[in-house]
Amino acid sequence: METSDFITSVKRQFEYYKNLAEQTFEQVEDEKLFYQFNENSNSMAIIVQHLWGNMMSRWTDFLTSDGEKEWRERDAEFEVHVKTRKELLKKWNEGWNCLFNTLNSLNEEDFAKTIYIRNQGHSVMEAINRQLAHYPYHIGQIVYIGKMLENDDWKSLSIPRNQSKNYNAEKFSQAKHNEHFTEEYLRKKKE
């Protein structure tokens, strides 16, 4: 796989998971963004704060400084600071913009470099994959919280219950083709 193909695929994956969380935010009322099951659990807003802090730390000066920045206050990410949907979305978008700007700036030569996270060396590909595993983990939490809070009003973000046979029948009725799974998903979202 060429580096440009890898970056394209990674960006599509990140965009897909970003979109899942955004569809969750759209389904819940403002106060539900801040709901915590108990004091040891995280609200959607706290998870966004954590993702923002991680993204800003990991993707700022990605190739030239440690991914765990001295200015990052990770523990504070798990305290309630964001108070409104507008603040939440501002942090959300700032973190993702930092990530996508960095990915868009990478070139073939950059993939030969070693970067560090807490002094532990990673290839550029390993560092990207590390975050590609980390962010969907938390986005799954956001979706799960939204699904619990919306209960019967929840609009499925994947194949709805008891619809697998219909979904598969439609997919297998199409000719075999090469298409990244996120392309269809994002195309349907625009419709």
Q: What is the pLDDT of residues 31-77, one digit of tens each?
A: 999 999 999 999 999 999 999 999 999 999 999 999 999 999 999 99
Q: Where are the alpha helices (DSSP H) in 60-123?
A: 85-105
Query: Residue 61 sits in a domain of what CATH number?
Result: 1.20.120.450
- For the segment 145-179, what is each residue's pLDDT rounded down to a tens digit? 999 999 999 999 888 888 888 888 888 888 888 87
Residue 163 inside a domain? The answer is: no
Q: How far apart are CA 54 and CA 69, in angstroms?
A: 9
Q: Does residue 101 fall inside a structural domain?
A: yes
What span, in angstroms and rounded, lies between the C-alpha atoms of 10 and 48? Answer: 20
Do 115 and 62 form a contact (C-beta atoms < 8 A)?
Answer: yes
Report if residue 44 sits inside a domain.
Answer: yes
| Type of residue numbered 86 | K
The amino acid at residue 89 is L
Q: Specify the amino acid at residue 155.
A: K
Domain assignment of residue 180, yes or no: no
Query: Does residue 130 lie within any of the structural domains?
Result: yes
Instruction: Give yes or no for a contact between 62 and 161, defined as CB atoms under 8 angstroms apart.
Output: no
For the residues 66-92, what does the mean pLDDT come to? Answer: 96
- Identify the band that residue 116 occupies on the pLDDT scale cut at 50, 70 and 90: very high
186 occurs within a structural domain: no
Residues 6+ apart with CB under 8 A from 95: 51, 52, 53, 54, 55, 56
Residue 168 lies in a domain: no
How many independent structural domains does the chain possess? 1
Burial of 128 (0-12, 13-18, 19+ CB in 10 A): buried
CA atoms within 13 A on the CB side of 63: 13
Range of the domain at 127: 3-158
| Residues 152, 187, 94, 4, Cα dihedral to 10° | 140
The secondary structure element, H or E, covering residue 184 is helix 181-190
**Residue 48 included in any domain:** yes
Residue 34 CA to residue 27 CA, distance in Å, equals: 14
Q: Which pLDDT value is given to residue 180? A: 74
